[in-house]
Structure 1
Amino acid sequence: MTVPMEDVWAAAELVAFGLRPGARPTEGNPYGLLLERYRTSTAFRDTVDTVAGGLGLVVLGAPPRTGLVLTTQPGSVFAVRMADLRGGNLGADDKLVAGLAVLGIAAYAFPTDAELDATEVKIVEVAALDRFIRDAIERLPEGGDAEHRRAADVYRRTAAFRPKDRQPGPARGCTQFAVQEVLGWLVERGAARAMPQMGPSTYQLTDRFRLLVADMAGGEALSALRAAA
């Protein structure tokens, strides 16, 4: 069956909204109307999934309060990498710490796969996350993947907190700064929101982050960190 061009155009519009981290669907706005159509029309959903697939994307879900959640296929031009932090100026050890911070946030917020089915709001705080990661890596069994072990060793020997000269908060060169930097990176991608009313280093994780974690659930590194924690 031939799909009308206006449906293909509408599907492409919805994918574009999904790629825009700051876009929020609300009842009656263009994003909200397209999202509701995706959630209620099988034919339109198939068209959106096909358009996304042609761009190297996969639709993970479409929660009403978050919008279309997309992840990338291998080689996609839309792929987002941890190396993109700081404009690509991360050193080798910084990349390991940042990657472990992402896994730590996932394991802290969703300690089991069953938790990924829950939709309650997840609130996280930088210092608590850092303590959680440090406690978990101390319990990691000997052996295992060499890269994971090296990441744990780098994290362990990096100071937990270094104060800034004249401002509150952690300075670059400590793990709390790395955790906060990763959370800021997630905010830019619509996977978290800063919650200054609850504290300067407190964040809310969105459904976008939950679905992204669900997509990587079962990975060896996340499983190991969950088990250790």
Structure 2
Amino acid sequence: MTVPIEDVRAAAELVALGLRTGARPTDANPYGRLLERYRSQTLFRDTVDTVASGLGLVVLGAPARTGLVLSTQPGSVFAVRMGDLRSTGMSADEKLIAGLVVLGVAAYAFPQEADLDSSEVKTVEVAALDKFVRDSIERVLAVPGDPESVDGQARTAAELYRRTAAFRPKDRQPGPAKGCTQFAVAEVLGWLVERGAARQMPQLGASTFQLTDRFRLLVADVAGGEALEAMKAVRAGQH
């Protein structure tokens, strides 16, 4: 069946909206209307999936309150790297610690596979997440694997994390200063906010964040290594 060119354009528009992390679908805006077509029309959904695939993207889901959730294929121009977290650049050690924090957020919020199918809202707080990562360090250090593998890098990150101070105050402002692990946690959570995977919850505290469906679907798509499983086991034992 030939797809009308107007539908191909609409499919590309929906993919573009999915890439804009600040865009939100509603019943009254074009994003919401295109998202409803994706959710209800098989041919349009197939067209969107094909357009996304041609751009090196994979559609993970289309929650009504979040919008189109996209992940990247290997080598995609849209692939996200730890170095993208900070515009001024990050050292190799900072990238490793940030990567461990991302694993920590996933394990903290979704320790069981069933959690990934739940619509329960997950919240995280900077100091609590930092403590959880520290509680997981010994388990991560015991994970086997080649030093260059993901699990090997997680071990290196865990050792760096253990040697870094949890909190250093800023000179004239509240909050953690650069160079401590709570700063790294806050930076990663702020980065997730920019990507639409979390939102700040000032009503619950200045350092509290709520994870969105986008983050849940991204976690479900990630192949978990032993380091992630080790952190999940620590979190599950805390419940």
Q: TM-score range by the shorter chain?
A: over 0.9
Match of 2:62 in 1: 62
Alignment partner, residue 216 of structure 1: 222
For residues 220 and 143 of structure 1, the distance between their equivalents in structure 2, rounded to whole angstroms, comes to 6
Matched with 2:84 is: 84
- CA, structure 1 residues 143+32, in 2 after alignment: closer, same or farther (shift >3 Å)? closer
Displacement of 1:57 in angstroms is 0.3
Are the structure 2 counterparts of residues 141 and 85 from structure 1 closer, same or farther at C-alpha, using a change threshold of 3 Å? closer
Question: C-alpha deviations, 1:42-81, integer Å up to 9, x for none?
Answer: 1000000000000000000000000000000011111111
Q: Retained in 1: the 8 A contact 2:141–2:155?
A: no
One-letter identity of the residue aligned with 2:172: R
In the aligned structure 2, how far is the partner of 1:209 from the partner of 1:143?
25
Cα deviation, residue 149, structure 1: 1.4
Alignment of 1:40-119 (within 5 A): 40-87=40-87, 89-119=89-119
Q: How many angstroms apart in 2 are the aligned matches of 1:60 and 1:39?
A: 12
The CA distance in 2 between the partners of 1:97 and 1:123, in whole Å, is 21
TM-superposed deviation, 1:88: 5.8
* 2:166 equivalent in structure 1: 160
1:88 to 1:165, Cα distance in 2 relative to 1, 3 A: closer
Report percent identity of matched pairs.
Answer: 76
**Distance in 1 of aligned mates of 2:120 and 2:143:** 36
TM-score w.r.t. length of structure 2: 0.93
Provide structure 2 residue ranges, at least 5 long, that are not aligned to the other structure: 146-151
> Which stretches in structure 1 are left out of the alignment for 5+ residues?
none
Could you tell me which amino acid in structure 2 is paired with residue 39 of structure 1? R
Q: CA deviation at 1:141?
A: 5.7
Matched, 1:181 2:187: yes
Cα RMSD of the aligned pairs, angstroms, is 1.2
**Equivalent residue pairs, number:** 229
Q: Matches of 1:156 and 1:106 in 2, distance apart?
A: 19
8 Å Cα contact 1:58/1:73 also seen in 2:
yes
Question: What SS is found at the alignment partner of 1:107?
Answer: helix
Contact 1:58 1:70 (8 Å CA) reproduced: yes
TM-score w.r.t. length of structure 1: 0.97
What is the one-letter code of the residue matched to 1:23? A
